[in-house]
Amino acid sequence: MDIFLGIVVLQEIKPCPELIWFATNECNLSCIYCCNNSNSESPNELSTEEAKGLIRQVAEFSKYFVIIGGEPLLRDDLFELVDYAHELSLPCSLITKGTILSEEWAEEAANRDLLVNIALDGLTPDMCDRLSRTDGTYHKTRKAIDICLKAGILQGITSTLMKPNAKETLDLMDFAAGLGVEGCWMSLRPLGRGLETYRELALTGPGYEEYLQSFYHRANEIRKKTELNFYVYDPIYCRVLHQHGNDTYNICGLGSYLNVNANGDVIACLFADLKVGNIREKSLKEIWSEVTANSFFNEIHDPKNLKGACGECTYNLICGGCRARAYQLTGDWFAADPACYYTTANG
């Protein structure tokens, strides 16, 4: 979906807190849930010089640069681009499945202080290989974790939460705690191949509520012994945190940061195909200025505009539901979040 932002007079604008770059659509795996629909090809991706242009723009008004894919390790110029970001004092990190990560690569990353987050979708070969549709994924990813630990560059573990691996992701929390990493994060959204498989794979309703409560209690127990940061990247989890007495806020990032696809398309949410421009046609700062000035992004974060159960919910200021998920599954940005089971009546 494209959104017309119109012409805005450029003024002093607030910094974009971070920018996430899909460095390539190319991937050596074929995960059934992939929100980027990555495959063996990545046509029309940014060249090295175009990517450096992106990094220059990011360094002007953003604080952090996250490189994802596809599989970002498949870009031959990856370290050249990381070096360029460092020259501009732009901190960056990377998310990878790690299946092609080597000790030599990790040494190069360590020399550049590049922090690595590894995506691991379970703790058994059957689970990880089945979800990635590639034999050997689990063992290769576990090896990558060991390599990054040894090199001192492992920042965190990410996982995609689904019905098949729900129990294993809870056990993954203990595994991450044992590694001594900074964080362990879970997410799933209906986008890319994930849209095709969402209704089959996603936890929703009572099952999702039960999982979120279990996740909270497991995290609470582990955090009595470690400072590891656990999170389900979902506004619904903000409500769970609040219910247990934690200070929290709505984490919905729609329009509050930017993502750039491999072809230069700029999207306003990691989990929504909401194109707001292309860096080959406009500067990133101009696109960001238009986003921050557009009334749509204010309206979507105003609880008074929400419909159905989200509109009536007492937690709509803290949660508000995932607007991207509501749109992807209903066609209405303001509809009730189909994944949520909580209402004032049953809560």
pLDDT in tens, 245-291: 998 777 788 888 899 999 999 999 988 889 999 999 999 999 999 99
**Residue 270's pLDDT is what?**
87
Q: What is the mean pLDDT of residues 79-86?
A: 98
pLDDT for 346: 58
pLDDT band at 347 (very low <50, low <70, confident <90, very high): low
pLDDT digit string, tens, across residues 198-253:
989 999 999 999 999 999 999 999 999 998 999 999 999 999 999 999 987 777 88
Q: Give pTM, 2 decimals.
A: 0.92
Which pLDDT value is given to residue 1?
A: 57
Tokens 């550049």 identify what position?
A: 112
Instruction: Name, of 36-45, 157-166, 223-232, the range with top average pLDDT.
Output: 157-166
Mean pLDDT in residue range 302-329? 94
Is the per-residue pLDDT at 304 higher than 90? Answer: yes
The chain-wide mean pLDDT, for the chain, equals 91
Q: Does 110 score more than 80 pLDDT?
A: yes
